[in-house]
Amino acid sequence: MSAELVLAVIAGADICLQYGKKLIRAYKDLKSANDIVTAKILIVDAFWSRTVLQVEFVKRVASTMGPEHCGIHIEVFEMLRSKLAIATARVDSLITDGGEVKKWRMPFVRSLLDDTIEQLEMWQRIFDPTWYLILRIGDKLIDSALSSEYETMNSINGTLEMQAVPSKTSTHTRVLSVARGLRKVMNPATKAKAHISLPDGGLDWEDAQSVLYSETRIIKRANSAKRYAVDTIDCRSGIDVTQLRADSESLARKLQQVDPETFGLLASYGIVKRKLPTKNQIASLNMIFSLPAESRTVRSLRQSLMRPQECSLSRVLRLARQLTEAISFIHTCEFVHKNIRPETILSFMDEESHNRAFGSTYLLGFDSFRNVNFHTMRGGDTAWERNLYRHPFRQGLLAHDKYTMQHDVYSLGVCLLEIGLWTSFIEYESNHSNIVEDITGPIPSNTLGLQVEDFKPRKAELLGPYNHIKDHLVELAKSRLPMRMGDKYTSVVITCLTCLDEGNEDFGDDCGMQDEDGVLVGVRFIEKVLLRLDGISF
């Protein structure tokens, strides 16, 4: 590791801390602030307290990070410095020498505080995936730094409680607690203590609710109105049940730690092992997820894409970011999803949002995942509607390549293309029915511009029998996406779709993407996909 890079990370962190301290002091020095302004200042202070904890942690462990990981932290810290400098200059312009704010200027102060909160939230969304990736690094310094920062966090939490900070902001300081929990379950030497296995009789399986176009079901707890999302993994198809069970339990323990709003994933509630009625043999593993507290209606992204667009481009972009953040976190947890498509992306609408295109959106469909450290089975299927979201080397009955994180990136690219165009690539003959049994199909949509026959292998293709599908999607992105979502979004989609191409400078060299802790591909994903998406605004 270059000492210059480590010093640059630490220097960037220190500059951010100095600017942040100056901004908070400027806000706190405001005189004649009314109750509304004072409450907003406390929110900014709470956000900054979380940022300080995370930035100080990076300073402690910078020496353990690789060159590219250091580089992306330097870039993200510069973004924060710029935001803090602008906010400080703006607040200084509203204050007189005595710290007074004229009454007619107070609305501008409130607006400035709202903008500061928004900018800090935006930066936090960019920073979190980079920060959590540190947990993959196999160095004991990470553990000691987490323990030290955890003590600091507890002290700050106590201060915030004494100041009666709103619960939404005080919960943000739980980030180190989440990180500690994740670090523990990521360590194979740590003996698992979290309760994962749930009894078969705890859910009302007979009253399961299907979600249109999705294999995820919504099932109530027995003798209760409380509902859960359930992904079922069939164990009767000759797979290694022992390995699958170990992977499922490992993933469930990691997903128990998640903050759904931060990661775009629902928190795991546990696993139910269901056995065959006549044999002592596991028939299925069922991953149980807690639903958002106020969720009322559940809708798959496939169903939303079949409806006319009812939301702004900003909301569409937010959905794309949420999906990308979810995939980043799954990879941080050392898993590949293997099933990313609109059917596995669910929205949960509450009373206010149930008539909109979608509400809070999360990635589910955990029926094909695997640990990145174990070889995947290369058996596939001929279902064109699934192969559409698979990389050409993963299509067909026998996949050419073992599954890697880059294959998830390709699947993301297809979804981002579909989301950007806001149209479904798949149609069913009974689009407008809400009854699962009435749905027939599927068939390729007119927008996709392909026929079912196009998904048959072409032996004459030098780059693989299914490469024409990827080429068609790339051309579709180039021709249709810029006028809808702009050049930057289009570039991200094409980067994802070509992530395993030889000429792709971002992801193409698979051998060059391997490192001891599996951090490099995660850094590259954040740099080339997440940061670019976050740089787009409408």
Tell me which of 30 and 417 has the higher pLDDT. Answer: 417
Residue 489: pLDDT above 90? yes
DSSP output for 8-24: HHHHHHHHHHHHHHHHH
Q: Which residue is listed with tokens 């050049």?
A: 487
Cα–Cα nearest to 406, from 532, 279, 504, 304: 504
What average pLDDT does the segment 337-347 reach?
Answer: 95
Structure pTM? Answer: 0.89
Two tokens, residue 180: 């500690």
What average pLDDT does the segment 146-159 reach?
Answer: 69
pLDDT bin (cut points 50, 70, 90) of residue 167 is very low
Which ranges in 133-217 belong to alpha helices (H)? 140-162, 167-170, 175-186
CA distance 314 to 357: 13
- pLDDT of the residue at 368: 86
Average pLDDT, the chain: 85
What average pLDDT does the segment 255-269 reach?
Answer: 91
Residue type, 384: W
Q: Which residue is listed with tokens 């030290």?
A: 148
What average pLDDT does the segment 439-446 reach?
Answer: 82
- pLDDT of the residue at 178: 87
| Class of residue 206 by CB neighbours under 10 A (exposed 0-12, middle 13-18, buried 19+) | exposed
136's CB contacts (< 8 A; 6+ apart) are: 186, 332, 334, 517, 518, 519, 522
What average pLDDT does the segment 155-180 reach?
Answer: 61
Which residues are 298's β-sheet partners?
348
Residue 487: pLDDT above 50? yes
- pLDDT of the residue at 398: 59
Two tokens, residue 437: 């049994």
Residue 355: pLDDT above 70? no
CA distance 16 to 10: 10
Two tokens, residue 13: 């962190």
From the CB of residue 424, how many other CB atoms can be counted at a distance below 10 Å?
23
pLDDT tens for each residue of 273-293: 998 887 788 899 999 999 988
SS3 228: strand
**How long a stretch of residues is the chain?**
538
Residue 460: pLDDT above 70? no
Which residues are 79's β-sheet partners?
none
Cα–Cα nearest to 2, from 60, 57, 58, 71: 71
pLDDT tens for each residue of 192-209: 566 789 999 999 999 999
Two tokens, residue 487: 């050049």
140-162 and 175-186 are packed helices; what angle lies between their axes, rounded to 10 degrees?
150
pLDDT bin (cut points 50, 70, 90) of residue 374 is low
Two tokens, residue 353: 């949002």
What average pLDDT does the segment 371-375 reach?
Answer: 67
Q: Are the CB atoms for 58 and 141 separated by under 8 Å?
A: no
How distant is the alpha carbon of residue 528 from its chain centre? Answer: 15
pLDDT bin (cut points 50, 70, 90) of residue 169 is very low
Tell me which of 277 and 141 has the higher pLDDT. Answer: 141
Residue 467 Ramachandran class (φ > 0 left, ψ -120 to 50 alpha, else beta) = alpha
- pLDDT of the residue at 304: 94
pLDDT bin (cut points 50, 70, 90) of residue 158 is low
Q: Which residue is listed with tokens 């030098």?
A: 462
Provide the residue ranges of all domains of the chain, joining segments of one domain with +: 3-186
Cα–Cα nearest to 7, from 68, 62, 77, 52: 62
- pLDDT of the residue at 402: 79
- pLDDT of the residue at 417: 98
Residue 491: pLDDT above 60? yes
What average pLDDT does the segment 387-413 reach?
Answer: 84
Residue 452: pLDDT above 50? yes
| Class of residue 290 by CB neighbours under 10 A (exposed 0-12, middle 13-18, buried 19+) | middle
Distances (CA, A) of 37 to 80, 117, 296: 23, 12, 34
310's CB contacts (< 8 A; 6+ apart) are: 356, 357
How distant is the alpha carbon of residue 501 from its chain centre? Answer: 24
pLDDT tens for each residue of 72-128: 999 999 999 999 999 999 888 877 666 666 666 777 878 888 999 999 999 999 999
Could you tell me whether strands 268-275 and 197-198 are parallel, antiparallel, or unpaired per DSSP bridges? parallel
Residue 32: pLDDT above 90? no
- pLDDT of the residue at 296: 77
What average pLDDT does the segment 370-399 reach?
Answer: 75
Residue 230: pLDDT above 80? yes
Which residues are 346's β-sheet partners?
300, 362
Residue 385 exposure: Cα atoms within 13 Å on the Cβ side: 16
Which residues are 55's β-sheet partners?
none
